Amino acid sequence: MPEILTTEQAAIYLQLSPDAVKRLARLGRLPGAKVGRGWRFRKVDLDGMFVEAAVDRVLAEEAERRAAEATEEDFVSWEEVKAKSEALP
């Protein structure tokens, strides 16, 4: 598959309809560029979109796990933060 994809090629790659690809691109949800009357998509950008989504999911799961395990001792009160910031020069 080429590195620069047309709307139709991106649709096949993403297993979406060409209309869905164009709509997502217009909304800014899919990385692409309007060239003349058509859209072009870099394959590396489409791949990166899924890597970022996977990383975001892992980070969110880790944050949820840590929040579930947290105790009162793990948190710093607003008063403590404020007192420390006032003590700074």
| Residue spans per domain, the chain | 4-72
Q: pLDDT category, 22, cuts 50, 70, 90? A: very high
pTM: predicted TM-score of the whole model, two decimal places: 0.62
Spell out the residues 6+ positions from residue 5 whose beta carbon is closer than 8 angstroms to its own. 13, 40, 41, 42, 43, 46
Mean pLDDT of the chain: 87
CA distance 50 to 36: 27
Q: How far is Cα 22 from Cα 55, in angstroms, rounded to an integer?
A: 25
- Position 58 scores a pLDDT of 81
pLDDT digit string (tens) for 35-71? 999 999 999 999 988 888 878 888 888 888 887 887 7
The residue-averaged pLDDT of 13-21 equals 93
